[in-house]
Structure 1
Amino acid sequence: MLPLDIAIQKIQQLPPEQWQKVLEFIEFLEYQSMHQQKATKTVETSEISFAEAAKEFIGCLDSDLEDLSYNPKYLEELGQE
């Protein structure tokens, strides 16, 4: 008997109230599998900088603000509680 057949048989023996829990667990495993595949693909690709990854968003906001990272006035309290 195949593992899938055994699983189906065991699920059928459960009370119907627990079928939802089985479905949620299967969905969790599916999510976990997809997440692991994405992580593997990410590792396989070459590393790029944040600026390179976000280049399509650079300058997409219309604002009169200057780049705050170069203004010491805005960085004085950074990291302080």
Structure 2
Amino acid sequence: MIQAISYEKIILESLKKLTPQQQQEVLYFIEFLQFKEQKKNLSDKQEEVISMLEAAQEFVGCVESGIGDLSLKKKELNKVEKIN
């Protein structure tokens, strides 16, 4: 904490010696550092993108409809479609 206070004093004293234009540049740099930190924090929080199947994996096949696996009944479904 003591080191942080001394940095603050050094920065403030140095800032007072700069021209207004130079002070503005320092402010831009501070804003850049803050933006960079926010961007880093956001990227750390982003979750891995997963498919809907992966998200609902525990529920796949939990409902019994009696129809069976529709992916294996393509011919039967085509027959029903032709009748309608």
TM-score normalized with structure 1 length: 0.50
1:13 is displaced (CA, Å) by 1.1
Asked if 1:31 is matched to 2:61, the reply is no
In 1: Cα distance, 2:48 partner to 2:29 partner? 34
SS in 2 for 1:2: helix
Aligned length: 48
Query: Computing the radius of gyration over CA atoms, which structure comes out larger, 1 or 2?
Result: 2
Per-residue deviation, 1:14: 0.9
Task: State the partner residue of 2:8.
Answer: 4
| Counterpart code for 2:20 | P
Question: Structure 1 residue 17 and structure 2 residue 21: aligned?
Answer: yes
Shift of 1:6: 1.0
User: Structure 2, unaligned stretches of length 5 or more?
Assistant: 52-84
CA distance in 1, matches of 2:31, 2:8: 16
The structural deviation recorded for 1:17 is 2.0
- Provide runs of 4+ in structure 1 moved above 2 Å: 45-49
RMSD, matched Cα: 2.1
For structure 1, list consecutive stretches of 5 or more residues without a partner in the other structure: 50-81
Higher-helix-fraction structure = 2
1:47 positional shift:
2.8
Q: TM-score, normalised by structure 2?
A: 0.49
